[in-house]
Amino acid sequence: MPDAISRSRRRAEITRAAIRAFARGGYDGTTLADIAQAAGVSQPRISQIYGNKENAFLEAHAQAAETLTQMIQARATPPFSAERMLAGYFDVVSQDPDSMMVIFRAFTSASAVPRIGVDVRQVLGEVVDIVINGAGGTYADALDFLGRCFTIYHVLAADLPGHVEESEHFAGVLEELRRGRDETPTD
């Protein structure tokens, strides 16, 4: 039994390394060799575990998506509150930015790789279900929540928080993203 636990733990560590590699390079820009290097194992070992890059990405995306859905599910209590739901989303952004980037990278690969597209649509459906059935929101609430989430993906991809000084507007955009729709601006 301990061997099974250690194998399972090691696979989870390798999947975390795959998340880091895919967060940096995306689906197209990451190789099994990149994952092997990030995990500190040989490329044949990565091939043995996943078979191919698509399977590695799908497992990395599944783990990232589970992190996301668990965090927002934990905040999903009626009545719907955009502020509370976004707080859960920002928990993931701050605690696990690599997972968030893998989710973003999945969106950018969804139309080119059919199995990734299937997974992306499944996660979207889960998030909408959490907003509507878990948090008591409406389709309009789900659309607003997803819109803010997609904007956050783009903000992360552009490293906007690290370049606030490049535009007089970036700080204001970041502040509005952090504020839920049901929170009244202070100015």
Whichever domain contains 147, its CATH number is 1.10.357.10
Q: Is residue 128 part of a domain?
A: yes
Q: What are the structure tokens assigned to 21, written together?
A: 């590699």
Asked if residue 57 is part of any domain, the answer here is yes
Angle value at C-alpha 120, between 117 and 124, nearest 5 degrees: 140
d(CA 68, CA 99): 8
Any domain includes 145: yes
Tell me whether residue 184 is in a domain: no
Q: Examine residue 186 and state whether it is found in any structural domain, yes or no.
A: no
Long-range Cβ contact pairs of 114-117 (< 8 A, separation 24 or more) = 115/54, 115/58, 116/27, 116/54, 116/57, 116/58, 116/61
Alpha helices in 51-161 (DSSP H): 53-73, 82-95, 97-109, 114-129, 139-157
| 126 in Cβ contact with 132 (< 8 Å) | no
Q: Please state, in angstroms and as integers, the Cα–Cα distance from residue 122 to each residue in 43, 46, 65, 96, 113, following that order.
A: 30, 26, 10, 21, 15
Query: What is the distance in angstroms between the CA of the first residue and the CA of the last residue of the chain?
Result: 60
| pLDDT at residue 70, as a whole number | 93
Within-domain flag for 144: yes
Q: Domain span at residue 18? A: 2-178
pTM here is: 0.86
In a domain, 187, yes or no: no
Name the domain count of the chain.
1
In one-letter notation, the amino acid at residue 85 is M
Is residue 129 in some structural domain?
yes
In this prediction, residue 119 carries a pLDDT of 98
Q: Tell me the pLDDT of the chain (187 aa) as tens digits.
A: 567 678 889 999 999 999 999 999 999 999 999 999 999 999 999 999 999 999 999 999 999 999 999 999 999 999 999 888 888 888 888 899 999 999 999 999 999 999 999 999 999 999 999 999 999 999 999 999 999 888 888 888 888 889 999 999 999 988 888 775 555 444 4
